[in-house]
Amino acid sequence: MIFLAAMLAVPAAVIFLSERNYRRLPYLPNLNNIPLSSVEIIVPARNESASIERLVCSLVALDYPSVHLTVVDDGSSDDTALKAKVAGAAVLCLSSDLPPGWTGKCNACDQAARYSEADWLLFTDADTYHTPDSLRRVVTYAERCQLDAVSLLLRQECVTFWERLILPMAYQNYFATLNADQPAFNGQYILIRRAVYEESGGFGAVRGRVMEDVALATLLAAQGYRIKLLNGHSAASVRMYRDLPALLRGMTKTAFVAARDRGGFGLLLGGAVLLGVCAIPALIVGLVTGYAPLLLWGLAMMIITAVGLPSWMRRFEVERWWFYPLLSQIGVFILFGVGFTSTFRTILGWGVRWKGRTIIEHRTA
């Protein structure tokens, strides 16, 4: 009984840490100044036909006096480049062949950064959407606080059943590992001074990393630059995955690396997911054998897993936020499968298929 009760503390700790870390994260303030600094917006895009037009239209509508937008078409096989150009962006087309040791995103971002002469570089993903005042607020904040780089965590758009079921749980887990003592960026939105990017080595210095955003934040912090991660839900949003297969591939790409790089917090998270998977089997065994402690433990584990989710559902504006926590065990099994597959493929060096490429991390790059 004591052992079973102690195991309940693991998912409870995940809920506590995620809520604490989310509430500690400072919000991007609503600043009204109009900065004079120039900004180059760089969007790496590979086969983003479904989302690129919406993004470019939101960036063209930014309330900012001096901005240039470049979409880097990273060897797309669809009409990403054409849609970006028609919507109003300059397009830099790259070959689908990557330099040895580079990931596609790092290469695309670095290639465009080389041509810029702007004061600031904003790297943002093709599946994001920006409010008109977002860039003005971020640049004003960065300059007022004399920061070298700012990154925003964006609001997740959850549209389909699978997005609503899995993404809030995944982000609860992400925030549980967001240690304030460790530098972190969100690769969906990174604003960095161009001079700092060039001096630090930028994405070229982390060219082989799967979690290039965290690697870049760690690099800048180690070099003494002032960086900040903010809650940017009011400034921009993102819809990362439009169907279940894309969601599974995308999460598999980063699951093991993200947990590994968070050390003890990653182990805590892995333990919570593993215990969550055991809840239903424990419930069944308890019912069949009549062993009440195991039955109660399974029920308690399921309840604890579900209790922490409504707040994340509401943050991401999920309709029927009360309904999806009732199905949380389905999400737990999916996350366990994602973590197991990611760990297995990474350790064996097989990599993960993503948008027509096999991504294998090169940590020495």
What is the pTM assigned to this prediction?
A: 0.93
* 8 A C-beta contact, residue 35 and residue 68: no
Helical (H) or strand (E) element with 278: none
Rounded CA separation 270/263 (Å): 11
Q: What's the rounded Cα separation, in Å, for the pair 336 and 256?
A: 11
Question: Please, which residues have CB within 8 angstroms of residue 7's CB and are 6 or more apart in sequence?
Answer: 275, 297, 301
Q: What are the per-10-residue average pLDDT scores of the chain (365 residues)?
A: 77 93 94 90 96 97 95 95 96 91 94 95 98 97 97 95 95 88 92 98 94 95 97 96 92 87 80 91 93 92 94 92 94 94 87 81 65
- The model's pLDDT over 277-304, given as tens digits with 9 standing for 90+, comes to 999 999 999 999 999 989 999 999 999 9
Residue 237 backbone phi and psi in degrees, to 5: -135, 170
Mean pLDDT score across all residues of the chain: 92
